[in-house]
């Protein structure tokens, strides 16, 4: 007898009515969700727990949709090409500090180093790709890199360091 049957709650149940107020609320202009940056160094043990210096420019630039794991890149002032991928200055600084002869490096020095490293990565990738093309491949492989290092003088400093 006492089986308390509850009627189907779903039908017609208006869960929207939070308060007794009038249902027609003044429509607020929807604001685009602020692109929150992911926490520093997701999954990566950032040296000394440093926060990657993201570019905190107010305007959210297309292309930096705050997706993608571990992407530190944020919108840049001028939405130009190839300006978005930025290596975290904190990591670069950690490498600089690893040199026992170096005492201090200025902000700008670390920045220029980071930027130079980006250019370096671009360069070596392109140079290695030439060898992949020769081998009629569309996938860059380790041997392409080795070939590039051997052939190109500027990369001589890398010999023996990648193994």
Site for another protein in 83-102 (CB under 8 A): 85-96, 98-99, 101-102
The answer to the question of residue 105 lying near another protein (CB under 8 A) is: yes
CB of 69 to another protein, least distance (A): 6
Stretch that binds another protein, among 6-14, 16-24, 140-148 (CB under 8 A): 140-148
Q: Yes or no: say if 39 and 57 are a contact pair by the CB < 8 Å rule.
A: no
The answer to the question of residue 140 lying near another protein (CB under 8 A) is: yes
C-alpha torsion sign, points 103, 50, 94, 76: negative
CB of 157 to another protein, least distance (A): 5
Helix (H, G, I), strand (E, B) or coil at 63: coil
Binding test (CB under 8 A) with another protein, winner from 79, 107, 134, 135? 107
The answer to the question of residue 151 lying near another protein (CB under 8 A) is: no
As a whole number of angstroms, the distance between CA 155 and CA 59 comes to 38
* Count of other CB atoms within 10 angstroms of residue 62: 7
Site size for another protein (CB under 8 A): 81
CB of 24 to another protein, least distance (A): 21
When computed from its CA atoms, the radius of gyration of the chain, rounded to whole angstroms, is 26
Q: Report phi then psi at 67, rounded to 5.
A: -105, -170
Query: DSSP label at 38?
Result: P
The answer to the question of residue 142 lying near another protein (CB under 8 A) is: yes
As a whole number of angstroms, the distance between CA 49 and CA 138 comes to 38
CB of 85 to another protein, least distance (A): 5
CB of 25 to another protein, least distance (A): 18
Closer to another protein by CB, 7 or 120: give it. Answer: 120
- The residue assigned the tokens 């609320």 is 25
């Amino acid at each position: 007898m006492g089986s308390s049957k509850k009627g189907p709650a779903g039908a017609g149940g208006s869960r929207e009515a939070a308060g007794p107020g009038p249902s027609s609320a003044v429509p607020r202009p929807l604001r685009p969700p602020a692109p929150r940056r992911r926490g520093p160094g997701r999954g990566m043990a950032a040296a000394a727990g440093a926060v990657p210096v993201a570019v905190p420019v107010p305007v959210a630039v297309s292309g930096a949709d705050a997706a993608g794991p571990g992407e530190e890149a944020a919108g840049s002032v001028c939405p130009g090409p190839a300006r978005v991928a930025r290596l975290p200055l904190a990591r670069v600084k950690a490498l600089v500090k690893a040199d026992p002869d170096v005492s201090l490096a200025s902000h700008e020095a670390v920045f220029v180093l980071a930027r130079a490293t980006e250019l370096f990565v671009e360069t070596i990738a392109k140079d290695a790709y030439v060898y992949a093309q020769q081998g009629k491949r569309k996938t860059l492989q380790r041997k392409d890199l080795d070939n590039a290092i051997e052939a190109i003088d500027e990369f001589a400093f890398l010999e023996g360091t990648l193994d």
